[in-house]
Amino acid sequence: MSTRSTPTVRQRRLGAELRKMRLAAGATTEYAAGLLGIDRTRVSNMESGIRSISPERVRRLACNYACADERYVAALVAMAVTRERGWWERDRGTLAAGLLDIAELEWNAARISTAQTVHVPGLFQTEEYARAVFAAVLPPPTRLEVELRVVHRMERQRVFERPEPPAYVAYVHEAALRMRFGGPDVMRHQLDHLCQASERDGIDIRVLPVEAGAFPGAGHALLYAYGVVPQLDTVQLDSAHGPEFTHADAQLAKYRAHLGWMDDASLSAPASRDVIRRIARSL
């Protein structure tokens, strides 16, 4: 089993699920170490994502932990399978690890929902719009840093080129559609692009009108990535210090309720397109 100095969010998640499974079974690290024929320190490292684990060992642990949920176990086994490096790995050491983790999260999601109050969703941003967003950072980034982030953001849109792309729902506050990142021309092009994206199969873009008034979430951008089983759902939140990830049951329930509120308060997809077009024409 190899070790990692900086495990990804997905690798840490696999370890966290193995630890959760062990604790649910009332088993100790010594017990797990005995099952695998390793010392307890290696078990701790596996559960933190620092040390990799083979699919066979995942199944051995699940069997001895008496986990009867085969779909859940199969999903964990799939996470342990060694695969080709994702396209985002080429940016490791160049971009912040959190940006790579978002790309990996999206790529492996079964479904994606997002709530945006300031920006157009990243997976539908044009180059010019993304460039304006990344340039509006303090301290000011270099031109190279901005361009590297723009290229990465455009590459993230490849998730819709997967053989089975994830279903995608975006709840976008009307305020985000009126913020002129890059100026009127850039924003008009961006809104036209967003309208075109909303007409694609599997993509649902809903506008939360200003008339809806107060809304939950304190304005935080929210990405909810649905796993192949509910136990593997993950939430990503934007912050001034970079992306934050959570998968605690209480937090997942809270953000599912948040998205449910947004779904009830947002306009239908056709009505949302009408709003987007109307704002674009006004620029």
CATH code of residue 205: 3.30.870
Contact 107, 162 (CB under 8 A): yes
The pTM for the full model equals 0.93
Can you give the residue range of the structural domain that contains 180?
A: 87-282
Same domain, 193 and 224: yes
Could you give the angle at the alpha carbon of 81 between the alpha carbons of 78 and 85, nearest 5°?
115
Same domain, 34 and 91: no
Same domain, 62 and 161: no
CATH code of residue 25: 1.10.260.40
Give a yes or no: residue 235 inside a domain.
yes
Same domain, 63 and 155: no
Torsion, Cα of 153, 155, 160, 164 (10° steps): -130
Give a yes or no: residue 4 inside a domain.
no
What span, in angstroms and rounded, lies between the C-alpha atoms of 203 and 157? 13
What span, in angstroms and rounded, lies between the C-alpha atoms of 253 and 243? 19
Give a yes or no: residue 1 inside a domain.
no
Same domain, 20 and 116: no
Q: Phi/psi of residue 16, each to 5°?
A: -65, -40
Same domain, 72 and 99: no
Same domain, 184 and 273: yes
**Number of domains composing the chain:** 2
Give a yes or no: residue 16 inside a domain.
yes
Give a yes or no: residue 260 inside a domain.
yes
- What's the pLDDT score for residue 83? 65
Same domain, 69 and 206: no
Domain end (from 33, 59, 80): 80
Give a yes or no: residue 64 inside a domain.
yes
Domain end (from 60, 80, 100): 80
- Record the tokens describing residue 164, joined without a space: 């089975």
CB-based contacts of 205, cutoff 8 Å, min separation 6 = 121, 124, 169, 170, 172, 194, 197, 198, 269, 272, 273, 276
Same domain, 189 and 52: no
- What's the pLDDT score for residue 6? 82
Domain end (from 29, 57, 80): 80
Same domain, 126 and 226: yes
Same domain, 118 and 221: yes
Give a yes or no: residue 2 inside a domain.
no
β partners of residue 92: 95
Could you give the angle at the alpha carbon of 249 between the alpha carbons of 105 and 17, nearest 5°?
60
Contact 204, 266 (CB under 8 A): no
For the chain of 283 residues, list the mean pLDDT of each consecutive stretch of 10. Answer: 76 96 96 95 94 95 96 96 83 94 96 96 98 94 96 97 95 97 98 97 97 84 96 93 93 96 97 98 95
- What's the pLDDT score for residue 48? 95
What span, in angstroms and rounded, lies between the C-alpha atoms of 277 and 271? 10
Same domain, 117 and 148: yes
Give a yes or no: residue 3 inside a domain.
no
